Amino acid sequence: MTFYQELQLNQAGSKKLLKKSETLKEKLYHMWVYLVKIAVTMAFCFFFVSIFSTLFGNENSIVGVVVLLCLMVFRNADLGIHTGQSTMLLALFFVIMTVCPHLANQFSPVLGMLLNIAALAVLILFGCHNPLMFNQSTLVLGYLLLYGYDVTGKSYQMRLVGMALGAALTCFVFYRNHKNRTYKRNLKDLIQEFDITSSRTKWQICQILCVPIVLCIAELCNMPRAMWAGIAAMSVILPFMEDMHYRVRKRIVGNIAGVICFTVLYFLLPSSIYAYIGILGGIGVGFSAQYGWQAVFNTFGALAIAAETYGLQGAVSLRVIQNVFGVVFALAFCVIFYWFMSKKKESEVTVHAE
């Protein structure tokens, strides 16, 4: 494996190489490549988001984050269908992420929930057909970030331009990287494969319904940063219940651990470098291959931003409450939904038997 090829590995791949190292020299080399990869990735991310902030305003720095996320994921990940159709779907996804979160913020929580359900239905049914690809962690997360950091007036006009540029970049990179691949399925096949009895479709429906409902309840309760609850719910909803239980536990424990670590750093470090705690969290995520540790370090960036608005105590309280509410509600929702679907299936079998 060349130096460049090793740089392309994810955290799990790099750590696997480290474990398989037979000599100290080999282990030190893989560790050095791993550190270089994290440093290069962090520098590139910081540079990329800074460019978007400069071009489209600091209030639209989140656009740079969403575009960067899409670029890094879809340069390798696909949608499982014909490349040309996938590229057009990606362009549609950017339109949805640009328009629908903004409109939903203008409506009441209930009407906004209905719009969010319709928008997520398109993103998930056509963009997250393969749960193992975790495309929901890109598309739904991007949607929720833009929803949570909504802007108006001139800033929204700049957001339109920024998202249009992001769509062009993402579609170009996606098509270039996937144009030579052969796919046997197309958009029509995705529609035909919708099956309410399958684990995949039930998982998709839970995502489509649960995440907007969580947002709506949080907003009706006047809880700031409702997107945190939505993101927490999205991240733990998986096709199989045992995997959900694992993620719910890790999310809650990781979130609390992250809050404690952030609080310690907040009191130990001078106020002039509070903003860099978020960068520290990003580095920690780069070293983390397991979901629980990722939950710990993801907390740093969120709290670093929220503490400026709500103060440390307010930000910490919101983070814990929103995350616990989001994951617990998602688990309860999916348990009830899966139970209802199993009962429905049993009744249908009984009717057919009679």
Dihedral sign computed on CA atoms, order 283, 287, 290, 293: negative
The terminus-to-terminus CA distance of the chain in angstroms comes to: 62
What pLDDT score does 123 carry? Answer: 95
The one-digit pLDDT tens for each residue of the chain (354 residues) are 677 677 666 666 777 777 777 788 888 887 888 788 878 888 888 888 889 999 999 999 999 999 999 998 898 888 888 999 999 999 999 999 999 999 999 999 999 999 999 999 999 999 988 877 788 888 999 999 999 999 999 999 999 999 999 999 999 999 999 988 888 888 888 888 888 888 889 999 999 999 999 999 999 999 888 999 999 999 999 888 888 999 999 999 999 999 999 898 888 888 777 666 776 776 677 667 678 888 888 888 888 888 888 888 898 999 999 999 999 999 999 999 988 888 776 666 565 555
Which stretches of 187-274 are assigned E, i.e. beta strand?
none
Between 226-236 and 241-268, two packed helices, what is the crossing angle to 10 degrees?
A: 140
Q: How far apart are CA 209 and CA 329, in angstroms?
A: 12
**339 CB-near residues (< 8 Å, 6+ apart):** none
> CA-CA distance, 308 to 353, in Å (whole number)?
63
Rounded Cα distance, 14 and 31, in Å: 8
* Predicted TM-score (pTM) of this structure: 0.88
| Cβ(120)–Cβ(208) below 8 Å | yes
Provide the sign of the torsion angle of the four alpha carbons 99, 103, 109, 115, taken in this order: negative
- CA 259 to CA 106: how far, in whole Å? 32
pLDDT given for residue 352 in this prediction: 57
Which one, of 68, 64, 67, 66, lies nearest residue 53 by Cα? 64
